[in-house]
Structure 1
Amino acid sequence: MITEKVYNLTHSQKTLTTAFAAAPHSSPGELGKSLYIEHHHHHSAPNASGGVLSTVKGMLHGGNANELKRIIKDEYPSQEDLDRAAECGQFGSRPSDLFLKIYHDVLCTLDADPWACSVSPPLLGSRGVVNLSIISV
């Protein structure tokens, strides 16, 4: 189930890029820690540093208990959950239900840590164009 907090994170205007543009002399690491500080105060240990290291530590020490219960019960997202997941992304058209099931599971990780996906939550379900010259040989 996608919580209201995750829904709000994906619809937020706060991204690391916009924070860095507003404060170009700050380090991206410090901006990343402070960007979702209110989320970490409610879910993390007092000495959590944020970022990839705390995400990996959190996953190794139990992760998101609600997600673990869902996996153990072998529950699948309902149609309402898939609709909510589709609302969290910025897709040109509605993706397939298979894609939305995967995307739903990815969004559920944001409940434990907004940096779990290593990208700002509003950009997680965005679309864009990558020039072939960048990825070609």
Structure 2
Amino acid sequence: MISPQVHKLCTGTETVSSLIAKDPELAPGDAWKKLYGGHTPAKESVAKARQHRDAHTPEDLQRARECGKWGPTEPSELFLKLYHDALCTLDHNVASAMVSPPLMGTYGTIPLSVISVVPDIMRHMSNLIVRADKEVILATNYWQNSVASKYITNAMKELSRKGRRTGDQNHHEARI
């Protein structure tokens, strides 16, 4: 069963990203503490989740449905069962979500694992960068001059050119 506390976390509007957008000087860790630092783990949540994991009631699925922002889509019953079980873990530890809870059930944002050779992955990423509407965040701890890195470099340059061509007031110049 999804607790009222988790339901409130998931249906909230503020996320770490939204706080940082309002205050760019705010560190992500501080934003997390501000939003979720006061969350106290529920001791009975793990036992309840194990006890009820195979018996999802229609009310459980409806509660899970309410915790997401599905847009024009409707999640399947199987997905809602999985999502319900994932949400139940938040009672014990909000950080187990790995993202702000309101983003867990948001259409259009999914974790993605791609298994391929590096140049193919970078080519795909460069296509996503060029098509970006709002922002691109590129985080890496290692950058080596290579064919693959040229894809990303060229995509960032193209995104900057596109912003200048369209006269977008909010575009940011990519400098590499």
Q: Same fold (TM over 0.5)?
A: yes
Q: Which gives a bigger RCO, structure 1 or 2 (Cα 8 Å, sep 6+)? A: 1
Give the structure 1 partner of residue 68 of structure 2. Answer: 89
Identity %: 37
1:24 corresponds to which residue? 24
User: Which AA in structure 1 matches 2:31?
Assistant: L
TM-score (norm 2): 0.56
Which sections of structure 1, spanning at least 5 residues, go unmatched? 45-63
4+ residue runs of structure 1 moved beyond 6 angstroms? Answer: none
Q: Distance in 2 between matches of 1:11 and 1:72?
A: 25
For these two proteins, the number of residue pairs brought into alignment is 115
Residue 69 to residue 43, structure 1, CA distance change in 2 (3 Å):
closer
Task: Report the TM-score, using the length of structure 1 for normalisation.
Answer: 0.70
Alpha-carbon separation, structure 2, partners of 1:10 and 1:33: 16
- Which residue, 122, 126, 130 being the options, matches 2:106? 126
Match of 2:34 in 1: 34
Take 2:126 and 2:51, find their aligned partners in 1: how far apart are those partners?
39
Greater Rg, structure 1 or structure 2? 2
Cα distance, 1:29 vs structure 2: 1.5
- Corresponding residue of 2:41: 43
CA-based RMSD: 2.7
- Partner AA of 2:124 in structure 1: S
